[in-house]
Structure formats: C-alpha cells, structure tokens
C-alpha cells in the first residue's frame, strides 16, 4: 500500500523538476546574451554556450557610442508622452468617477470599447491622421499616440480607484471650499501616486519596446528613431553576423529599463494592489 506522504513528495519533486527546467529555458538565453556581449568575435563561435574570461568591453563601448542618441530620443519621447498621458487619463477618470454629466455612462463604455480593438486595426488610419496633423520625421508624431493610446487603460484603472474613494472625503473638502479641480489635485492625485507610478512604468516600458510605429512614423530621419526601432532598422543591418556586437547593443538598450524597475519597483507593486483598496 502506497503511503500518501510518498505520493505528495513525488508530486513535489516533479513540480520542482518542471519548474527548474522551465526556469533554465527562460533564463539561459538571457545569460547567453549577457556573457556573449563580453566576448570577441574571434572566439565567440567556439565558446558561445558558456562564459569565458577575460571579459572584453570593446563591444559595449561601440554599442554605447552607436545607441546613445536613440536612448536619449526614447527617454524624451517616453517621458513627455507618459507625463501628458497621465494628466489626460487622470482628468478624464476623475470626470467619469466623481462628476455628473449627460451621457457619462455611454462615453465611458465607448472608452472601454477602445480597449477591445486590436492596435493593428487602427495602425494605418492613425498614421494617415497624424501625418496630416503634424507630419512625419518629428518627435510629435511619436508622442501623440502615447497620449491617445495609453490614456484608455489609464482612464479605466484610475476611474475604478477614484470611484472607491469615500464620498464623505469629498463632501468634507467641498465644505472647506474646494471645487472639483481642488478635489482632483488635493485628494485624488495624492492618493493615486502608486497607481500613477505603475501606469508610468508600464507606458515607458511599452514605449521602450515599441519598434513598429517609430519605423513607420520616422521613415527617413533616422536620428529621431527610438531605441527599439533603431536596433531593428540601423544597428542590426550594420552589424549583421557579429553576435557579440548585437548582444552588446541589446544589453546597453536594456540598462535604463532595468534601472527604472529597480528604483520604482516599490511603487509598481503598490500600484497593482491599490485599485482594489476602498477609502
């Protein structure tokens, strides 16, 4: 007769073996790219599956020199676009959550419907519209889609949070003479800082990894490309066959995002849980 504890131990062993295998399959390509960035082209083919010493920093220096302009472009586009998106999304969310006006529910359902549409469906019409409004090869054509597209999810998340704040807080504020704008600035914004930080991190990460829209919107002036599009359009084509150089470019381009997550991880975790808290 088989003991129940033996079955449990066997199941736990199998679970751990499967998790270790999946973890290796997930992390090994990342590790391979990291140590590959510190190898020379001459010895990469023979030692690509494992790290070797001494480390070579030539590829990193070359990649940093080639990509720093595109990293600056991404910080500029992502920073300005994300800040404007947070302002638009928070104002709209406050209006939907705390104000009364004709057609509010219908308008909010229309906003939610935008979340169901695949982005590829509006890619060509959006390009035609923004090209007509601001032209191509400009930072503005990269920033505007962040404001319009990123605001949809932001409105949904912030509206849910603002609705959960107790009405008594707003009544007390109005008795003290605060209007709607004052309630927005002095009540909703301070309470929603973790959620705003979460939205900012998500939007910056999305902007950092987006290469399709910048490649379409910046057809000729490559100096205005963001980092993902520059790696795809410029860096890969100029370093075909040199895997250590490519890995160095990937590593350099990932450093700002890694730093962002390390310093903002606390706000990110708080923001993911704040929407369910009632005040």
Tell me, what's the pLDDT at 123?
86
pLDDT confidence band for 2 (50 / 70 / 90): low
Return the residue matching tokens 């007509």.
Answer: 132
Q: What is the pLDDT of residues 18-72, one digit of tens each?
A: 999 999 889 888 888 888 888 877 777 777 787 777 777 888 888 888 888 999 9
Q: What pTM, to 2 d.p., does this model score?
A: 0.82
Asked if pLDDT for residue 85 goes beyond 90, the answer is yes
Tell me, what's the pLDDT at 260?
82
Residue-averaged pLDDT of the chain: 83
Cα 205 from Cα 227, distance rounded (Å): 12
**Who wins on pLDDT, 76 or 9?**
76
Asked if pLDDT for residue 279 goes beyond 50, the answer is no
Tell me, what's the pLDDT at 1?
47
Q: What percent of the chain has pLDDT over 90?
A: 15
Cα 208 from Cα 4, distance rounded (Å): 51
pLDDT confidence band for 267 (50 / 70 / 90): low
Tell me, what's the pLDDT at 91?
92
Q: What is the pLDDT of residues 17-26, one digit of tens each?
A: 899 999 988 9
Q: What is the pLDDT of residues 201-243, one digit of tens each?
A: 889 888 998 888 999 999 888 888 898 888 877 777 766 667 7
Q: Do 187 and 169 contact (CB within 8 A), yes or no?
A: yes
Cα 279 from Cα 275, distance rounded (Å): 10
């Amino acid at each position: 007769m088989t003991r129940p504890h033996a079955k449990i131990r066997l199941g736990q062993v199998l679970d751990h073996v499967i998790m270790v295998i999946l973890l290796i399959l997930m992390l090994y390509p990342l590790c391979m790219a990291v140590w590959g960035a510190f190898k020379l082209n001459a010895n990469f083919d023979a030692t690509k599956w494992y790290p070797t010493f001494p480390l070579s920093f030539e590829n990193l220096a070359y990649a940093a020199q080639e990509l720093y302009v595109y990293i600056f472009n991404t910080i500029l586009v992502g920073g300005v676009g994300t800040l404007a998106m947070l302002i638009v999304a928070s104002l709209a969310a406050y209006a939907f959550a705390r104000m009364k006006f004709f057609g509010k529910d219908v308008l909010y359902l229309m906003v939610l419907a935008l979340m169901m549409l695949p982005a590829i469906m509006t890619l060509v019409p959006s390009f035609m519209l923004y090209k007509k409004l601001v032209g191509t090869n400009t930072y503005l054509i990269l920033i505007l889609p962040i404001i319009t597209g990123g605001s949809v999810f932001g409105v949904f998340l912030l509206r849910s949070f603002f609705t959960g704040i107790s009405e008594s807080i707003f009544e007390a504020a109005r008795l003290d003479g605060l209007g709607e704008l004052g309630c927005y600035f002095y009540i909703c914004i301070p309470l929603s800082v973790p959620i705003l930080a979460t939205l900012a991190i998500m939007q910056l990460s999305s902007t950092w990894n987006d290469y399709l829209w910048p490649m379409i919107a910046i057809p000729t002036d490559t100096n205005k490309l963001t980092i993902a599009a520059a790696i795809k359009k410029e860096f890969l084509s100029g370093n075909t066959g040199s895997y250590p150089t490519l890995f160095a470019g990937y590593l350099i381009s990932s450093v700002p995002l890694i730093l962002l997550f390390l310093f903002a991880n606390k706000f990110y975790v708080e923001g993911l849980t704040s929407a369910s808290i009632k005040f």
